[in-house]
Amino acid sequence: MSKVIGQRVTRYDGMSHVTGETKFVDDQVVPGTLTVKALRSPVSKGKIKNLDISAAAKMPGVAGIITAADVPCNAFGLVPDQPVLVSEDIRYRGEAIAAVAAVDEDAAMEALEKIGLDIQEQQAVLDPLESMKEGAPQVRPEGNLQMWDGHDYRQVNLGDVDQAFEQADEIVESTHLHPSVEHAPMEPICSLAVPHAGPKLTVYTVSQALYFHLGMLCGILQMEPGSVQCKQWKAKTGSAWRHNTGYADVNYIGGTVGGGFGGKNDIMADHVAALLALKTGRPCKWRWTRAEDLLYSTFRGAWHITIKDAVTKQGRIIGRQMTSIRDAGAYASLNPYVVEKHCYLGAGPYFIPNVRVRGYCVYTNKPPASSMRGFGITPAAFATEVQLDKIADRLGMDPWEVRLTNAFRKGEYTPTKRVLNSVAMIEVLQNLAAKAGVELPGHLKAMASTQERG
Amino acid sequence: MHTLELTVNGQTCRVEVGLKTTLLEVLRDKLYITSPKVGCNTGDCGTCSVLLDGVLVRSCITNALSVQGKSVTTLEGITEPGDIHPLQKAFHEHYGSQCGFCTPGMILASKALLDVNPSPTRDEVKQALSGNLCRCTGYVKIIDSVLAAADEMKS
Amino acid sequence: MAEGEFYRAASPREAAGLLAQHGGAARVLAGGTDLMVAVNKRKFKPQVLIYLGDAGMSGISQEGDALLIGAATPLNEILASPLVADKAPLLATAIKQMASPAIRNAGTIGGNLANASPAADTATPLLVLGASLKLVGAKGEREVPLAEFFTGPGQSVLAADEIIAQVKVPAQSAEAKWAYRKVGKRKAQSLSVVSVAVYCPLSGGKVSGVAIALGAVAPTPLLATEAAGLLNGKALDEATIAAAAKAAAEATSPIDDARGTAWYRKRASEAVVKQLLTELAG
């Protein structure tokens, strides 16, 4: 008998949840902790002409203020293209420009009001379709489209799509708009950084990707401001997080996450809390308000997806051309990876022998989008399933039959030629129909994943 | 500052508060009772729920000075050493808690219901928890937990 | 840091006196469900707070053919009252759909009205029932029909030194028909996009003294008097209902906001009035 399979297993942390003993980041009590608040950009795009913190620094209760000049390596992320604090070019409304650590929230908020900020506002581009056009306002110096191996898109090719369209009985085309979605975990973004002699740091984090972010954080903290090595190393590796030194200097404590859903896969507060803790020598906590969390934390970016399928009279999809445009917001975050995964799985759980999926990752002057449950697969599934219903409509077929006819069978392969030896899509659909009270006709009931496609 | 005297989980407390101090700030920042969470600070999410003289309220929008002389119960207050409340047991055993952030508020909202209605219908549980948001469970397991606790408390 | 002053008023008159004494710096506090949200959002920094929880302004009683509800009575207490269930079920029905249990445990009927939101959910049932308010000022008190209370979004006839002390609700007639519907983004914890209350006394199969009120579709909660006028003395047939619903929608002047567009609100007003009247006719 298995100790686990078939048994009810309670959560290892369940008892501390129900007694209230679980300590989330915001529940850590460290005496003398300062409250952090950020000055955020009021415009979507602009240039900082003047930033004056002198009056704010003299406000009662203010222990420290940081700006871009205080960030040792002010570029992080997968690519890395994102500054911790804006030095000159503002790329989205709400982007952090400066951060204050003060004895309480009132003192921090009053200090923010004393920061002198002069911005030259510029024309922003908010629509990804506009951003792709020639002559669109530039979002990033690297360009408005993410590059992959010299291409401004990611593409997955399988078989001969053009020939499939020539052989098709029907061509079914549809366009799908998927809006952006906020994860809205119950626990807002929060970070607590506690300095020790050394200087060393303990950082309590809401991160869902602890080791990933530890590397990033060390990269941000370690380098000398504007150092040659920082630039050279970035140019060489294209990455700010593989930097391997300094891990011993940061005690990164996480694992207790008040809901994430992919919304805590990017560093959003730890860097600022850590920098302020190092600057002031005191514990610093940055807890975002619910409004900040909804407006400026990462989210599932919007998609514009067009699918064109080559279909036979029998309902077989023999070819698919899919073009997907991802609204990434102002920075890479995990967007390029999300687009790649979207492309790999653009055909859904169906065997389509000829596939061309092209994914564009387009930058706009909005907060950076990132991962959310499925990393780009969910919108692909949404578009695919709507498309299958349209195919059924066009052919006058039962939508169950269209799905069962195209579902993966043992030994078939995905658009990236991954051969599938253990598949159960047909059985899943049959079970689903039974549970939904749908009586499938005999020939569909008789289908099995192990049968070879006739 | 003003002096506020109140009873929290059976213990009389005296704290200094300002005019805009909330009950949540008193509990978390002055008494270090951290089961009520800061979720929205606008009374919308329910993570800060506590019982005030036995009645469910939002501590984040309860002015601290308005609770002078009153009795506050947090999740810590219904947990006896070695003897948890049937609701806590049910939330643990029936997977009513996932990330745990909404759990303290959920259990207190459930207690407020069972204290006045020991045999609620599923719909009455939904109504009672309608002000407590959860993003993990989809609520089904939470409602199951409350109904299981109600059954256990009756037997 | 300024300390601020906090008073516990022992009576409505004392509260009004404190308001007069402190001028514009003072605000009254009851449940705090609106005030403290503004404080937390840093939209408002209190300097003087006058707490009404100990001012003897809570409770429900009957006087002749009317209910007297203390302005500081929490909404859930009104919802739980057998007296209200019996004499003003329309009000209880509306309150049941407001906010969430925890908010209703703190939020008061007086606060809901004094805040003068166009979307105040107690306003529509109280308007159709012909409720009036007892306003207590530093120098005296007066009674104001609710229909004359609201003057704009967040604005009312309440003077700087006045508070709402009591709500007087004429009892519903046992024969009268009534209906209430709230349209929101979701069922719980949702501000109204459109709300409609209909009170329909009957006399010999014909309606007389009918009243229709709409919320969240005009600068103030709205009594649709013209629409009601089309119904009085008539049988509730399809054509009459359609005309009244149209007139009710025409009386609205909604705005676009995060919850809904003016276009939607106008059409929803007509549809909901039609629905409710059709239900009452059936």
Give the tens place of pLDDT for each residue, B54-89.
Answer: 999 999 999 999 999 999 999 999 988 778 999 999
The whole-number pLDDT of residue C226 equals 97
Mean pLDDT of C58-76: 97
Q: Does domain A138-181+299-400 have CATH number 3.30.365.10?
A: yes
Q: Report the alpha-carbon distance of residue C125 to residue C179 in Å, rounded.
A: 9
Residue B107 with chain A: CB contacts under 8 Å: 18
Spatial contact of A200 and A41, defined as CB atoms under 8 Å apart: no
Spatial contact of C70 and C41, defined as CB atoms under 8 Å apart: no
Q: Report the alpha-carbon distance of residue C97 to residue C104 in Å, rounded.
A: 10
Question: Among C167, C163, C168, which Cα is nearest to C12's?
Answer: C163
Residue A290 and residue B135: Cβ atoms within 8 Å?
A: no
Confidence of residue A402 (pLDDT cuts 50, 70, 90): very high
CA A189 centroid distance within chain:
15
Integer-rounded Cα Rg, in Å, for chain B is 15
What is the SS3 string spanning B55-110? EEEEHHHCEHHHHCCCEEECHHHHCECCECCHHHHHHHHCCCCCCCCCHHHHHHHH
- For the ranges A217-221, A292-296, A350-354, C133-137, the lowest mean pLDDT is seen at A217-221
Asked if A7 has any chain B CB less than 8 Å from its own CB, the reply is: no
Residue C45 with chain B: CB contacts under 8 Å: 20
End-to-end distance of chain B based on CA atoms, in angstroms? 49
HSE toward the beta carbon, residue A52, CA cutoff 13 A? 8
End-to-end distance of chain A based on CA atoms, in angstroms? 41
Beta-carbon contacts of A58 under 8 Å, excluding residues fewer than 6 positions away, are: none
Count of beta carbons in the 10 Å neighbourhood of residue C142:
12
Residue range(s) of every CATH 1.10.150.120 domain in chain B: 86-154
pLDDT top residue among A70 and A360: A360
Residue C1 with chain B: CB contacts under 8 Å: 18
Asked if residue A2 has pLDDT above 80, the reply is: no
> C31 is written with which tokens?
């449940």
Residue range(s) of every CATH 3.90.1170.50 domain in chain A: 19-122+183-296
Asked if A18 has any chain B CB less than 8 Å from its own CB, the reply is: yes
Residue with tokens 């840093």: C42
Beta-carbon contacts of A341 under 8 Å, excluding residues fewer than 6 positions away, are: A375, A376, A377
Residue with tokens 């923010």: A112
Question: Among B53, B51, B22, B47, which Cα is nearest to B35's?
Answer: B47
Question: Among A53, A105, A438, which Cα is nearest to A286's?
Answer: A105
Comparing CB atoms, the residue among A13, A23, A290 nearest residue B39 is A290
Residue with tokens 């401001």: A225
Residue B56 with chain C: CB contacts under 8 Å: 101-102, 105
Distance from CA of B113 to the nearest CA of A (A): 17
Comparing CB atoms, the residue among A8, A10, A258 nearest residue B100 is A258
Range C5-51: architecture per CATH: 2-Layer Sandwich (3.30)
User: In this predicted model, what pLDDT tens digit does every residue of A306-344 receive, in sequence order?
Assistant: 999 999 999 999 999 999 999 999 999 999 999 999 999
**Strands across the sheet containing A96-102:** A62-66, A96-102, A34-40, A284-287, A190-196, A200-205, A250-253
Residue A20 and residue B76: Cβ atoms within 8 Å?
A: yes
Question: Among A258, C106, A397, which Cα is nearest to B133's?
Answer: A258
The whole-number pLDDT of residue A242 equals 38
Comparing CB atoms, the residue among A10, A258, A287 nearest residue B101 is A258
> C134 is written with which tokens?
């007892």
Residue C90 host element (H or E): helix C89-96
Integer-rounded Cα Rg, in Å, for chain A is 26
User: In this predicted model, what pLDDT tens digit does every residue of A130-149 receive, in sequence order?
Assistant: 999 999 999 999 899 999 99
Q: How is A377-431 classified by DSSP, letter by letter?
A: HHHHHHHHHHHHHHHHHHHT--HHHHHHHHB--TT-B-TT--B-SS--HHHHHHH
Domain positions in chain C are 5-51, 60-170, 177-281
The whole-number pLDDT of residue A245 equals 47
| Phi/psi of residue C49, nearest 5 degrees | -115, 135
The size of the A-B interface in CB pairs under 8 A is 99
Question: Among A298, A237, A224, A231, which Cα is nearest to A268's?
Answer: A298
Q: Identity (one letter) of the amino acid at A446?
A: A
Q: Report the alpha-carbon distance of residue A270 to residue A99 in Å, rounded.
A: 12
Mean pLDDT of B134-144: 97
Spatial contact of A102 and A34, defined as CB atoms under 8 Å apart: yes
Question: Among A65, A161, A61, A76, which Cα is nearest to A117's?
Answer: A65
User: In this predicted model, what pLDDT tens digit does every residue of A78-121 receive, in sequence order?
Assistant: 888 999 999 999 999 999 999 999 999 999 999 999 999 999 99
Give the residue from chain C lying closest to B58, CA to CA.
Answer: C102
Residue B52 with chain C: CB contacts under 8 Å: 105
Mean pLDDT of C46-72: 97
Tell me which of C36, C39, C52, C75 to substitute to probe the interface with B (most B C-beta atoms closer than 10 Å): C36
Length of chain A in residues, anyone?
454
Distance from CA of B65 to the nearest CA of C (A): 8
Distance from CA of B90 to the nearest CA of C (A): 22
> B52 is written with which tokens?
């005030």
Q: A116-121 and A46-52: which strand pairing?
A: antiparallel
Tell me which of A12, A13, A15, A18 to substitute to probe the interface with B (most B C-beta atoms closer than 10 Å): A18
Q: Report the alpha-carbon distance of residue C124 to residue C197 in Å, rounded.
A: 6
Question: Among B34, B55, B149, which Cα is nearest to B101's?
Answer: B34
Cis ω on the peptide bond leading into residue C118 (within 30° of 0)?
no
User: In this predicted model, what pLDDT tens digit does every residue of C192-231 receive, in sequence order?
Assistant: 999 999 999 887 777 888 999 999 999 999 999 999 999 9
Question: Among A212, A42, A218, which Cα is nearest to A120's?
Answer: A42
Residue C53 with chain B: CB contacts under 8 Å: 66
End-to-end distance of chain C based on CA atoms, in angstroms? 63
Residue B42 with chain C: CB contacts under 8 Å: 37, 40-41
| Phi/psi of residue C145, nearest 5 degrees | -60, 140
User: In this predicted model, what pLDDT tens digit does every residue of A17-32 receive, in sequence order?
Assistant: 999 999 999 999 999 9
Question: Among A286, B142, B62, A21, which Cα is nearest to C31's?
Answer: B62
Residue A18 and residue B39: Cβ atoms within 8 Å?
A: no
Superfamily holding A19-122+183-296: Aldehyde oxidase/xanthine dehydrogenase, a/b hammerhead (3.90.1170.50)
Confidence of residue A231 (pLDDT cuts 50, 70, 90): low
Residue with tokens 């005309």: C243
ipTM: 0.97
Q: Report the alpha-carbon distance of residue A221 to residue C101 in Å, rounded.
A: 47
The size of the B-C interface in CB pairs under 8 A is 90
Asked if B133 has any chain A CB less than 8 Å from its own CB, the reply is: yes
Q: Report the alpha-carbon distance of residue C133 to residue C131 in Å, rounded.
A: 7
Confidence of residue A6 (pLDDT cuts 50, 70, 90): confident
Asked if residue A35 has pLDDT above 90, the reply is: yes
Residue range(s) of every CATH 3.10.20.30 domain in chain B: 2-78
Residue B62 and residue C32: Cβ atoms within 8 Å?
A: yes
Residue C78 host element (H or E): helix C75-80
Mean pLDDT of C30-44: 96
> C250 is written with which tokens?
């025409």
- Cα–Cα distances (Å) from C95 to A11, A69, C36, C117, C205, in that order, read 39, 55, 21, 15, 29
Mean pLDDT of A5-13: 90
Range C60-170: architecture per CATH: 2-Layer Sandwich (3.30)
Confidence of residue A1 (pLDDT cuts 50, 70, 90): low
Comparing CB atoms, the residue among B32, B45, B84 nearest residue A186 is B45
Residue C73 with chain B: CB contacts under 8 Å: none
User: In this predicted model, what pLDDT tens digit does every residue of A368-388 receive, in sequence order?
Assistant: 999 999 999 999 999 999 999
> C241 is written with which tokens?
């209902």
The whole-number pLDDT of residue A230 equals 55
Q: Report the alpha-carbon distance of residue B116 to residue A375 in Å, rounded.
A: 45
The β-bridge partners of A366 are none
User: In this predicted model, what pLDDT tens digit does every residue of A238-255 receive, in sequence order?
Assistant: 544 334 446 778 899 999
Spatial contact of A29 and B109, defined as CB atoms under 8 Å apart: no
The whole-number pLDDT of residue A401 equals 98
- Kindly list the partner chains of chain C, i.e. chains with 3 or more CB atom pairs below 8 Å: B
Cis ω on the peptide bond leading into residue A199 (within 30° of 0)?
yes
The whole-number pLDDT of residue C202 equals 81
Helices (H), C131-237: 225-231
Render the burial of A264-284: b for 16+ CB within 10 Å, e for the rest: bbbbbbbbbbbbbbbbbebbb
Residue C102 and residue B57: Cβ atoms within 8 Å?
A: yes
Average pLDDT over chain B reads 97
Spatial contact of A128 and A327, defined as CB atoms under 8 Å apart: yes
Residue B131 and residue C99: Cβ atoms within 8 Å?
A: yes
| Phi/psi of residue A161, nearest 5 degrees | -70, -40
Comparing CB atoms, the residue among A18, A184, A186 nearest residue B99 is A186
Spatial contact of A30 and A283, defined as CB atoms under 8 Å apart: yes
Give the residue from chain B lying closest to C96, CA to CA.
Answer: B127
Spelled out in words, what is the top-level CATH class assigned to the domain B86-154? mainly alpha
Q: Report the alpha-carbon distance of residue C235 to residue C281 in Å, rounded.
A: 8
pLDDT top residue among A7 and A430: A430
The whole-number pLDDT of residue A426 equals 98
Spelled out in words, what is the top-level CATH class assigned to the domain C177-281? alpha beta
Average pLDDT over chain C reads 95
Spelled out in words, what is the top-level CATH class assigned to the domain B2-78? alpha beta
Q: Report the alpha-carbon distance of residue C101 to residue C112 in Å, rounded.
A: 15
Asked if residue A225 has pLDDT above 50, the reply is: no
Q: Report the alpha-carbon distance of residue C256 to residue C279 in Å, rounded.
A: 29
Beta-carbon contacts of C140 under 8 Å, excluding residues fewer than 6 positions away, are: none
The whole-number pLDDT of residue A234 equals 59
Residue C40 and residue B46: Cβ atoms within 8 Å?
A: no
